[in-house]
Structure 1
């Protein structure tokens, strides 16, 4: 798929051929790339700023964490993206430290300040632990490339330890019943029931336990009730201990304390319960709302600023909160380009009208749920094929799509023999996975969440 297919242009000649408004786009996720693509097509000078040199297709990061895909399959160089936008587009690898709205400058930790006429905030979000004691210190996330690789190594380390320590069990708790939690739980459960007998013939599958804990009454809450029930049945069929209406009081080093007083053993806690604003973005001085997200009006303009827009997971429309998915971010980014054209031509701004194209989640091999807007609701093999096709199609770069197709196809065809064949590093030298060296990884993840970057829009 070409860039124009995922992020289509406005479909006409460039609006600016002499004067080229300078637009700084903070964040290289779905919203930022959509805005940059459309703005470059209009003839704007576009500066894309992101602290990573790549964009990440986050809906498939759980596949990286569970060994189905390589990190290179789901990442794409932002410099390559900018180069394809033309001579007026530039990429700066940097973290935004502050924004001088009076002088229209973006200050970064790398290089000189960047001047702008218009500013697009598409900085995304990071993990939200909702103040749960111990969650940040003792949980793993799969919202970034680095954290997904760390999670993969922890899973690999624990599986390897099962083969040498006959007294050990591997208890995994996934917190959050949204698409990320469901997809991770389903993959780990199939790794347990199918992969372990093939890869570790001396290890009983009874020594591996996968639990999915959700505070609400349902998994995949935004989905139709029939799809929610199907999801729960499929996870339970795969051996997942599904616990809804279950709130977590504390995450400990080797267990999770529930608010009802029960304690669950946990060698690994994967936190997929939601996202929140990056701390650095909350210090930029803009009005924030729920979850620390930057508040905009219905035109996506930031409150109190005529030339600043915000889009994606890190933004929230004051009177119309939208789901934190890829499509609202992409459509919002495209609208911002039109808004800048409108402002430059003294035309009224448009109201953002989100077009819901549906949503989906995979549960495991041959099982998924697809809910199309005003269309059919799909389950089973057909839904799974739709999920695979759309996710591979949505990857940027031909190499990424080919590699992902080969890797996912290989996993499908050899599933009975290699479903548990994760390749990673054993994190400790003392045979005690989840401790020791992994503490340095935990600290690195914590620092990443403090400074972070990236748009976690989900497909």
Structure 2
């Protein structure tokens, strides 16, 4: 079976959703294909894993997102292959769909950089499934440690000192400090540890020295042990080994060490650049592939001056909306425009009342409670629905005031 649309969008992340919404507003017949039937808010997955919020706060069905756009269709299916020359997409069920214009916004996957044992033994944190799996593993490991008459603790290593690693390590440390004594025992909390490790010399590489210093201090105050400047060379079920010959024991290793383009992009035949992503043209089209756009974590994008743009949700959202405008121009005989990114800066949560933010192209810097409030405000706005926003705010307030964890996940850690 082959069905035709004006546009097919592969992937329902920030970029794909933004593109479908904008195309839907313009009445373009568009098909979104994703292996899930929901959009997931990736910046808060670490909070799902650490039971600060629930899955329902970070997910929303595509049909709910697009219900007002009659020209938008959603297909829940895994993409088996794409033909960028023919503008076709084939699912693993053997159905083929054709479009005048093809948009690849299939996101990314963990990049283990060929580190032995990492893919087999580490927990990535890029999807809701990843977050629930990690949360399950931490709960079961804590249960096992409490049953152990030897009194040993739970030891966790987070690999990667970027925002995801910093936020995850900070959240785990706060659980050890405030939550584990309440739900398990003070002794278990006292005997547990979380290490944040990276080959680079400091955390939050894209940030200013002031922000790095503040983040380092607050992480250490929360109980995070930092080991920077030596890369991980081996990941085992019971720990990690470093390039300097040292090692750390751990029951759980969280991999926040980087991302690469997903399998759909890798198999597309398009020439890949850094991180396996496609170095797109200024108008977000793929070089040498007329009628093909590549967006979000699948693309390496630059501004009008050739400066590389960040792999951020806000950048992906803007790119999706911009690409939709260019696509509409393609379909109506208009002229494409180069992507004009509005730089909103960077931010990272460190812990309770602590965050760093560098806002706008001038990088207006904030640290501490003010940055924490800014972080909350930005993430509330970015969440995909009012129910998700209200629920997240209630969960955050409950967590801040009571250290309650009503979202602890249960199930099989595997």
Instruction: Tell me the TM-score normalized by structure 1.
Output: 0.85
**Greater strand proportion:** 2
Q: Could you tell me how far 1:273 is from its partner in structure 2?
A: 0.8
1:313 pairs with 2:290? no
Contact 2:153 2:188 in 1 (8 A): no
Q: 2:278 aligns with which of 291, 294, 309?
A: 294
1:379 pairs with 2:367? yes
| Larger relative contact order (Cα-Cα within 8 Å, sequence gap ≥ 6) | 1
Q: Could you tell me how far 1:411 is from its partner in structure 2?
A: 0.7
Q: 1:324 aligns with which of 308, 311, 327?
A: 311
Contact 1:35 1:337 in 2 (8 A): yes
Gaps in structure 1 of 5+ consecutive residues = 1-19, 428-437, 442-459
Q: Could you tell me how far 1:282 is from its partner in structure 2?
A: 0.7
Tell me the secondary structure at the aligned position of residue 223 of structure 1: coil
Counterparts of 2:388 and 2:332, CA distance in 1: 40
Q: Which region of structure 1 is more displaced relative to structure 2, 223-232 or 197-206? A: 197-206
1:359 pairs with 2:346? yes
Q: Which region of structure 1 is more displaced relative to structure 2, 337-346 or 359-368? A: 337-346
Partner of 1:261: 245
Tell me the secondary structure at the aligned position of residue 409 of structure 1: helix
Gaps in structure 2 of 5+ consecutive residues = none
Counterparts of 1:95 and 1:422, CA distance in 2: 29
Query: For residues 268-295 of structure 1, what are the alpha-carbon distances to aligned partners after superposition, in whole Å with 9 as ceiling and x for unaligned?
Result: 0000011112224311211111111123
Q: 1:339-358, aligned counterparts within 5 Å?
A: 339-358=326-345
Instruction: Tell me the TM-score normalized by structure 2.
Output: 0.94
Partner of 1:424: 409
Partner of 2:90: 107
Structure 1 outlier segments of 4+, above 6 Å: none
Query: For residues 399-429 of structure 1, what are the alpha-carbon distances to aligned partners after superposition, in whole Å with 9 as ceiling and x for unaligned?
Result: 21121111111111102xx36x7633364xx
Tell me the secondary structure at the aligned position of residue 237 of structure 1: helix
Identify if the C-alpha distance between structure 1 residues 375 and 322 changes in structure 2 by more than 3 Å, giving closer, same or farther: closer
Counterparts of 2:145 and 2:46, CA distance in 1: 22
Q: Could you tell me how far 1:196 is from its partner in structure 2?
A: 2.3
Partner of 1:248: 232
Counterparts of 1:32 and 1:289, CA distance in 2: 21
Q: 1:200-215, aligned counterparts within 5 Å?
A: 200-201=184-185, 203-215=187-199
Q: Could you tell me how far 1:178 is from its partner in structure 2?
A: 0.9
Aligned residues: 406
Q: 1:335 aligns with which of 304, 313, 322?
A: 322
Query: For residues 330-356 of structure 1, what are the alpha-carbon distances to aligned partners after superposition, in whole Å with 9 as ceiling and x for unaligned?
Result: 111111122123323444421122210
Q: Could you tell me how far 1:121 is from its partner in structure 2?
A: 0.8
1:96 pairs with 2:84? no
